[in-house]
Amino acid sequence: MASFIQLLVSGLATGAIYALIAIGFTLLWQTSQTINFAQGEFVMLPAFFVLAAMNVGAPYWLAALIGIALSVVVLGVLFKAVIVDPMMRHGVLPLVITTIALSLFLKESVKDFYSSQAQPFPAPVAPRDLHFLGAVVSLQSVVVLAVAVLTVVALHLLLNKTRLGRCMQATAQNPTVARILGIPVGRMVLYTFLINGALVAIASLLISPIYLAKFTNGEALGMAAFIAAIIGGFNQVRGAILGGLILGVLDNLSAAYLSSQYRGAFPLVILIAVILFRPQGLLGRVEERAV
């Protein structure tokens, strides 16, 4: 039982990070039909913003704020203005290819400017273990889970309980009608990019103490979050959350109780099953193509 609790908490913490990243996938898809294959690198990059700020003498909390602010500007505003807007006119596929190129560019740039070596990254809390029903759970995992849950709750409140959030949802559901109703659609789309910039920065701050800051971190994270978004439903934020948590927990439990050698295959089996039997994802809604 103790082992199970340990695995569950650890899996939920990892899954919560996947969920934060997967939410970004769904937000961008819903508002602008952008599939961002650089999303994993978007999580890798803010950690280096923070390390760079700390290298010039900023304390951790200030460096973290600088990291979030830079992410919002670079990975939100600049990404939309320089990459998405010009490429979007040419359709989804050219944009997808451009984001793949962007992921390579970000990865190699970080390697060249910062080094290929993994860097230790400060944790928001001192390393301490909590003992619960015989299980040893790291305080770091609990904090990761708590911050991720708080972030998701805040996002949920923003989207559902505020006028701004409802305008963003209206834009996602039908931009033409939203425009007729006087909603500034362009600005709403921009806001989703800013939110994505903030989400990936928070995910980066949470995951980097565990993963260590390294230029290749985005590969695994981006893939896991993409699978999570598809499993949960690419057009639903709550689907992305569910997909992330399922993936995190499944990874740990399957490695411990089924086979560690095939742990990488289990999420893919679930993915195939979802695509075959519920292609819109566990919580997604069916979308019909106009053409």
Q: Which is nearer to other proteins, 1 or 286 (CB)?
A: 1
Q: Which is nearer to other proteins, 94 or 120 (CB)?
A: 120
Do 84 and 32 form a contact (C-beta atoms < 8 A)? yes
Element (H, E) at 137: strand 135-138
Q: Which residues share a beta bridge with 138?
A: 129
CB of 260 vs other proteins, minimal distance in Å: 5
In angstroms, rounded to a whole number, what is the distance separating the alpha carbons of residues 202 and 106?
Answer: 18
CB of 17 vs other proteins, minimal distance in Å: 9
Binding to other proteins, residues 216-235 (CB under 8 A): 216, 219-220
Under the criterion CB under 8 A, does residue 204 sit at the interface with other proteins?
no
Binding to other proteins, residues 241-260 (CB under 8 A): 251-253, 255-256, 260
Under the criterion CB under 8 A, does residue 3 sit at the interface with other proteins?
yes
For the window 4-43, what string marks contact with other proteins as x by the rule CB under 8 A? --xx--xx--x-----------------------------
Size of the site for other proteins (CB under 8 A): 36
Helix (H, G, I), strand (E, B), or coil: what is residue 132? strand
Q: Which string of DSSP letters, residue by residue, matches 63-74?
A: HHHHHHHHHIII
In angstroms, rounded to a whole number, what is the distance separating the alpha carbons of residues 201 and 66?
Answer: 10
Binding to other proteins, residues 41-100 (CB under 8 A): none
Binding to other proteins, residues 98-117 (CB under 8 A): 107-108, 111, 115-117
In angstroms, rounded to a whole number, what is the distance separating the alpha carbons of residues 49 and 60?
Answer: 12
Helix (H, G, I), strand (E, B), or coil: what is residue 182? coil
Q: Which is nearer to other proteins, 123 or 185 (CB)?
A: 123
In angstroms, rounded to a whole number, what is the distance separating the alpha carbons of residues 230 and 284?
Answer: 9
Joined together, the tokens standing for residue 52 give: 């760079």
CB of 6 vs other proteins, minimal distance in Å: 6
Under the criterion CB under 8 A, does residue 129 sit at the interface with other proteins?
yes
